[in-house]
Structure 1
């Protein structure tokens, strides 16, 4: 009887109608690198899934490396094949969001006037594209493009270069590309399109650019960042909040430089730290994910002299009795020439007679020690904890109370009197 009851129950369960699956539609969009495109389109209410892939090329089956290899051959003039674009397949619920709204988000979240590029990513595989699956989708793509073109033209932009074509040869991207920025929160934060609103949509307010009069025209660092950007926050925590370098720095949400200052190329990720000299960009550091030492090395190569760079980055040594600060006795601190972090104080300095500034004790936490077996010797190298640059070596023939001698290259120290 019990077995019969179970049989009847299972029969009724299997006979019951299954709940209807949500009716969805999809469209394939190219917005440059599919990592950022996936993140932006997934944020549209009513979008139920976004998948990274490749589409629009001649080959039926491709992967990431295939796309890169073909693009290289195209640029070298060794192929006339049509390459795939990095795309996202956007699946949405028409009862919750219209295709018009999806396309408006597409237009506003990238720059559709750049041809075979998007930001700093250059190549036909980064082209702007709409690949439709029906005449109705094509009509909406063309209509919204024409509407957005009018807004772009009024804002001073050129013609839209977006390819609008039937979907062909779509390939799902490799698993590691799916939900990439969710799985890898160290990826770049995009700056977000042209800031030109689609007609009828709320105008995107561009943050006011910095005032040139408030900055140092001779040499100035500007951090271009974005709201809701964890990498910008990390840069603040690890670098900016404790800034003591002599190079002035300021952060901004604006995407344009101060008036009459010039960027060498468009910004494409945040944070981007740009070094200006005489109001002109001379170098930039793009993206940040805890590479503090690499950031300071980048800055050091721009602001240090060739002799300082040789010591700091190539473990060089100045000739004895030729460096700076050998006779400096005023109360004060000797600081890192890049970061400005204090390393030694004058009251820990002594005359060793060696020809290099010598100290019996650093400021706590200011240096790191490393084994050095170069030049056939076994020594202990001293580096700055804040920037990682080479300072000198430590020996055990110093005076009390430590008995240590920090033999330091004076040219990679800056003295700041009390």
Structure 2
């Protein structure tokens, strides 16, 4: 039995792929006999401490979180890429109370813990869910296109355009300097894809790391009741499904243009969050369903013909692909970032170049017209999904906690 402290700037009910990953991992570890606590940033009037599914959740208030004007989304007041004095003080109290054997950090809340690591010297594990260790925006996108890599003359103006001048400069400078300095205190890294490991600069000569993708709950296929009103909005016939933010970076514009060029196509359903660049006009037979709860989205996966993941950004892993596969649904996706690792081209789906309307149209048409291909890819997808289930992944993370796994380096970062 181990005592594990998770550091996650957001946690349900604030929800996203990363937050769901921390929740599923924490609850799975509890079921396997470990004591797990989570330190996260308090949002609104949430209780400071509560226990859910055996996991003790500590919600912290930081100095920056008191200024709502610093954040574009009031319900997602993220941790800064430098030590926040108040967060550090409160984390110190939690570490003293919980006495963890392992501290497992998942994002920028790590920076407020690093000064304490010098004192407590816990086994420190960091999961890289995105490109935040080298990119102030975390997505490695510059001027709407994948970035070739960090450099001051690129990163400073890019961060300024994203966050605003002063805020962007501070974010970039502190993230670039403290992020690199903090690497030396990490005992082991987990990267959710080889794409993330490579772009974040993990070096097998110096860094202890392992590629472990995000994963799904073992009961993902057990659909929950109580979503009848939403499910009534789905087409009664076969349909195609996209799940994600309704933005250009996720390939929505390319998808709509490719779909518009297919005659007599089944309905297309888009489930996601409305964004600034969400298309204003839609082709015929396209249904948009805004921000559905995750349990309802799983129902949609179970009913669709196949999924479409046309992202044009550097996707880190591809949880939506895993969810589609868990219901035996193949996907048409773009060959970018971690999607190239999650989708096995010609075996569990079809990969196309990002932003290529005609290639995407051809792939969609192939999947629609070739029923035997779709059935074969779907059957392989269901088998492939087994590698992304909790029972397959969590033991690998436990071995990293124990320090007994054979990872990519013999020693720590020099």
TM-score range, shorter chain: under 0.3
Name the one with the larger helix percent: 2
For normalisation by structure 2, the TM-score amounts to 0.27
Larger strand proportion, structure 1 or 2?
1
If you compute each CA radius of gyration, which structure gives the higher value, 1 or 2? 1
TM-score (norm 1): 0.26
